[in-house]
Amino acid sequence: MADDTDHTGDDQALRRLLEEAVADVHPPDRLIEIRRRTRRPARPQRRWLPVVVGAGAATAAVVAGAVLVGQLGRSGDDGPPVAEAPQDRAAAVYFVGEVPGGTRLYREFQSVPAASGTEAVTEALARLESDAGPDDPDYRTAWPAGSFGAVSVTDHEVVVSLNQPATRRPAGIAPAAARLGVQQVVYTADAALGRALPVSFEYAGTAARRVLGTSVPGPVDRAAQDRTVAPVNISDPSEGSSVDADFLVARGTMTDGVKKVDVLVQNLDDPGSSSAISVTVPGKAIQDGTLAVRGMLEWEAQIDVQGLGAGRYQLVVRAVRANPMAPVPMDSRTFLVH
Amino acid sequence: MTSYVALPGIAGTRPAAYVVTERSDARAAASAGSAADEGIERLYLEHWDRLVRLSVLLVREQGAAEEIVQDSFVAVHQRWDRLNDPERALAYLRQAIVNRSRSALRHRAVVQRYLNRQALPDPAPGSDEPVLGDARRGLVLDALRQLPRRQREVLALRYYMDMSEAQIAETLGISKGAVKSHASRGAAALRPILDQLGPDVRGG
CA–CA distances in Å: residue A116 to residues A91, A158, B111:
11, 13, 16
Are A26 and A112 members of one domain? yes
Among chain B residues, CA nearest to A165: B173
Q: What is the pLDDT of residue A219?
A: 95
Gap from B22 CA to chain A (nearest CA, Å):
6
The enclosing domain of B96 has a CATH number of 1.10.1740
Q: For residue A269, count CB atoms less than 10 angstroms from its CB and return exposed for 0-12, middle for 13-18, buried for 19 or more.
A: middle
Tell me the per-residue pLDDT of B117-174, one tens digit each, with 9 for 90 and over: 443 333 333 333 333 345 777 788 888 887 878 889 999 999 999 999 999 988 887 7
Gap from B42 CA to chain A (nearest CA, Å):
11
Q: Confirm whether B10 is domain-assigned.
A: no
Q: Is B115 on the interface with A (CB under 8 A)?
A: no
Alpha-carbon span A32 to A200, nearest angstrom: 47
Are A278 and A261 members of one domain? yes
* Secondary structure letter of residue B120 according to DSSP: P
- List the pLDDT tens digit at each of the 338 positions of chain A: 444 444 567 888 899 989 989 988 999 888 888 888 877 543 333 334 444 444 333 333 343 333 334 344 333 333 333 333 345 677 889 999 988 888 999 988 887 877 788 888 998 999 999 878 887 777 889 999 889 988 999 989 999 999 999 999 998 889 999 999 999 999 999 988 888 899 999 998 899 999 999 999 999 999 987 789 888 888 888 777 788 777 788 888 887 777 778 888 877 776 555 544 555 555 444 444 334 455 677 788 877 777 777 778 888 888 877 676 777 888 888 888 87
Tell if the CB–CB gap between A11 and B159 is shorter than 8 Å. Answer: yes
- Chain B contacts of A27, Cβ < 8 Å? 48-49, 52-53, 62, 65-66, 69
Residue whose C-alpha is closest to residue B162's, from B64, B50, B87: B50
Q: What is the pLDDT of residue A71?
A: 41
Q: What is the pLDDT of residue A282?
A: 53
Q: What is the pLDDT of residue A112?
A: 80
Tell if the CB–CB gap between A54 and B21 is shorter than 8 Å. Answer: no
Between positions 15 and 74 of B, the ones with CB within 8 A of A are 15-28, 30, 33, 36-37, 40-41, 44, 48-49, 52-53, 56-57, 62, 65-66, 69-71, 73-74
Among chain A residues, CA nearest to B57: A22
The structure's pTM equals 0.49
Are B91 and B137 members of one domain? no
Q: How far is CA A196 from the centre of its chain?
A: 19
The enclosing domain of B173 has a CATH number of 1.10.10.10
Alpha-carbon span B179 to B191, nearest angstrom: 18
Alpha-carbon span B141 to B138, nearest angstrom: 5
Domain boundary among B129, B152, B169: B129
Domain span including residue A236:
232-337
For A244, the closest of B1, B144, B160 (CB atoms) is B1
Gap from A276 CA to chain B (nearest CA, Å):
5
Q: How many CB atoms lie within 10 A of CB A118?
A: 17
Q: Confirm whether B8 is domain-assigned.
A: no
Tell if the CB–CB gap between B37 and A1 is shorter than 8 Å. Answer: no
Residue whose C-alpha is closest to residue A217's, from A255, A171, A182, A193: A182
Q: Confirm whether B82 is domain-assigned.
A: yes
Q: For residue B44, count CB atoms less than 10 angstroms from its CB and return exposed for 0-12, middle for 13-18, buried for 19 or more.
A: buried
- Chain A contacts of B65, Cβ < 8 Å? 25, 27
Q: Confirm whether A6 is domain-assigned.
A: no
Q: What is the pLDDT of residue A270?
A: 64
Q: What is the pLDDT of residue A51?
A: 45
Domain span including residue B111:
15-129
Are B178 and B88 members of one domain? no
Tell if the CB–CB gap between B48 and A24 is shorter than 8 Å. Answer: no
User: What total number of domains does chain B contain?
Assistant: 2
User: What total number of domains does chain A contain?
Assistant: 2
Tell if the CB–CB gap between B194 and A1 is shorter than 8 Å. Answer: no
Are A144 and A214 members of one domain? yes
Q: Confirm whether B7 is domain-assigned.
A: no
Q: What is the pLDDT of residue A279?
A: 59
Domain boundary among B92, B113, B129: B129
Given a cut of 70, the residues of chain B with pLDDT beneath it are: 1-33, 84, 106-134, 198-204
Among chain A residues, CA nearest to B23: A46
Residue whose C-alpha is closest to residue B132's, from B61, B32, B39, B31: B61
Are B72 and B89 members of one domain? yes
> Parallel, antiparallel, or unpaired: how do β-strands A291-293 and A241-243 relate?
unpaired
Alpha-carbon span A131 to A124, nearest angstrom: 13
Tell if the CB–CB gap between A5 and B30 is shorter than 8 Å. Answer: no
φ, ψ of residue B62 to 5 degrees: the values are: -70, -40
Are B69 and B156 members of one domain? no
Are B71 and B100 members of one domain? yes
